[in-house]
Amino acid sequence: MKKQVEPTVFLVDDDPAILRILTRLVRSLGLKAAAYKSADAFLKAYQPPEPGCLVLDVRMPGMSGLEVQSHLAATQDTLPIIFITGYGDVRMAVEAMERGAFSFLEKPFRTQELCDKIQEAVGLAEKNWQRRREREDAVARLATLTPAERRVLEPLVAGGTNKMVAAGLGISVRTVEVHRARIMKKLRLKTRTELLKLVHAAAQ
């Protein structure tokens, strides 16, 4: 499985002064910052999936923050978004949150509040990233099984004993035992509990 990579806090705001402030703030938290003056610049540079979060201005020339949110949602990207704006209103905030935004802050925001939100969002992103890696690893390992092994795997995961699986598939108990041993070896597992966790991870 791939190792966890360093999270990045992506900053998108058309105000250079705000970007400088945000960049210093993120680095003070010990996090990596990547700043962009426009939504287009961010989307051209961003290579999903990357763990981290997005601090995004709502109103910008060209593509707006809400449009960026829609674009990422269309690609099923789960990067947590913290919206910031100096012109926010209730309708805009509600729309952003309904679309799945992590948080919505108005300028001038409290520094500590933004720091807290960034750290919470990065924590969530790292969990999502790890879950995605585990799912990809589980799917790849299960793909190494033969069709016959997969037929045996399903009832085994459902709790069937070797005898029950054999009766259900119309094969001998010995055949089930052989397939079961091969399944565990291929998947690099030792216990049924590990097997259940792997199958669950692949289904997430």
Q: Which CATH architecture does the domain made up of 144-203 adopt?
A: Orthogonal Bundle (1.10)
The band of 38, judged by pLDDT with boundaries at 50, 70 and 90, is very high
Each residue's pLDDT tens digit, 75-116: 888 899 999 887 766 777 888 888 889 999 988 888 999 999
- For the chain, the domains span 8-131, 144-203
Would you say residue 1 has pLDDT above 60?
A: no
pLDDT at position 4: 59
- The predicted-structure confidence for 140-181, as pLDDT tens digits, reads as follows 999 999 999 999 999 999 988 999 999 999 999 999 999 999
Query: Residue 171's pLDDT is what?
Result: 94
Q: Hey, is 12 helix, strand or coil?
A: strand
Banded pLDDT at 19 (limits 50, 70, 90)? very high
Neighbours of 130 (CB within 10 A): 14
CATH topology match: 8-131 vs 144-203: no
Q: pLDDT value at position 13?
A: 92
Q: Is the distance from CB of 12 to CB of 84 less than 8 angstroms?
A: no
Enumerate residues 6+ apart whose C-beta is below 8 A from 149. Answer: 179, 182, 183, 186
* Domain 8-131, CATH number (from 3.40.50.2300, 3.50.4.10, 3.30.1600.10, 3.65.10.10): 3.40.50.2300
Is pTM beyond 0.95? Reply is no
